[in-house]
Amino acid sequence: MAEAERIIGTPDTPETSGTEPEQGGTARPKGKRRIVVLFAVAAFAYALDLVSKMIVVARLEHHAPIQIVGDWLKLEAIRNAGAAFGFGEAFTVIFTVIAAAVIVVIARLARKLYSLPWAIALGLLLGGALGNLTDRIFRSPGVFEGAVVDFISPKDFAVFNLADSAIVCGGILIVLLSFKGLDPDGTVHKD
């Protein structure tokens, strides 16, 4: 918990490592905030996911799968009420709440975001979470119970979508940045 609080910070305890003084005596990290990058990446990931799902629903749903690379990769429209790999179909509302919580945490973290790699990683997470949350809210069978549209189907693997890909890529990037000791505020720590 202390590590998460150190990264996210609290309004009453500004970080001073790697900072420069602002007017009024408070400190801020060096460089400029990367909030625009975060939201640009999120908007791009979200738009790509939304458009791809609209195309899949219009052109692929209720049709035979399209083989892309032999038996190794095909496009196949399915509706997934659960989490990754189809697990937890009875807990759609919980996944909706988790996605909403992720969005709130990223929005809170954005206020002290000075690292470009973190902005990209969080943008991918935000765009992916918004993409799947949109499905959960607006698709049938109903609000907060909607099934996510999945369509990328590798052989012997789960069917997924572009939002899932953005979430996984953002998560991997966050793990790598954490191992390197790079914090969202641009500071580097050695633990």
> Of the listed 135, 150, 183, 185, which one is catalytic?
150
The widest CA-to-CA distance across the chain, in whole angstroms, is 65
User: ∠ CA 117-118-123 to the nearest 5 degrees?
Assistant: 100
Residue 170 Cα distances to 17, 60, 69, 175, angstroms: 25, 28, 26, 9
The single residue listed with the structure tokens 């997924």 is: 160
150 catalytic, yes or no? yes
Q: How far apart are CA 82 and CA 37, in angstroms?
A: 31
Alpha helices in the chain, H assignment, sequence order: 2-8, 35-59, 92-110, 116-138, 162-180
Phi, psi for residue 145 in degrees, rounded to 5: -130, 10
SS3 172: helix
CB 171 within 8 A of CB 180: no
156 catalytic, yes or no? no
| CA dihedral for 28, 32, 35, 38, sign (positive or negative) | negative
> Of the listed 164, 183, 185, 191, which one is catalytic?
164
* Position 184, amino acid: P
Active site residues: 150, 164
